[in-house]
Amino acid sequence: MGTRVVLVKCTIGPIWTLLSRNAYAGDPVFELELGSNTGLCMALPDSSGGNAEPIMLQQCGPGSILRYWMLG
């Protein structure tokens, strides 16, 4: 399943790394990896998109739209 993501006051520590999906030039879709090379990405557990849906950490990698984010 995964570990819940919790928003806290920003301090020195892990940051989010943008991982481009690279489906085509200018593709706005990306994954958000915790830190660098941790292999853990921000994901929705069931993609309902409802208010108050928890955000989880799951293994990064292609194939799951539950880990894809888009600006705009």
**Model-level pTM?**
0.70
**Per-residue confidence (pLDDT) for residue 13, from 0 to 100:** 65
**Per-residue confidence (pLDDT) for residue 35, from 0 to 100:** 85
**Per-residue confidence (pLDDT) for residue 10, from 0 to 100:** 73
pLDDT, tens digit, 9 for 90 and up, residues 12-69: 766 888 888 777 777 888 888 988 888 999 888 776 666 777 888 888 877 677 788 8
Would you kindly state where each structural domain of the chain is located, as residue ranges?
3-70
For 58, phi and psi rounded to 5 degrees? -135, 165
Long-range contacts of 20-23 (CB under 8 A, 24+ apart): 21/62, 21/68
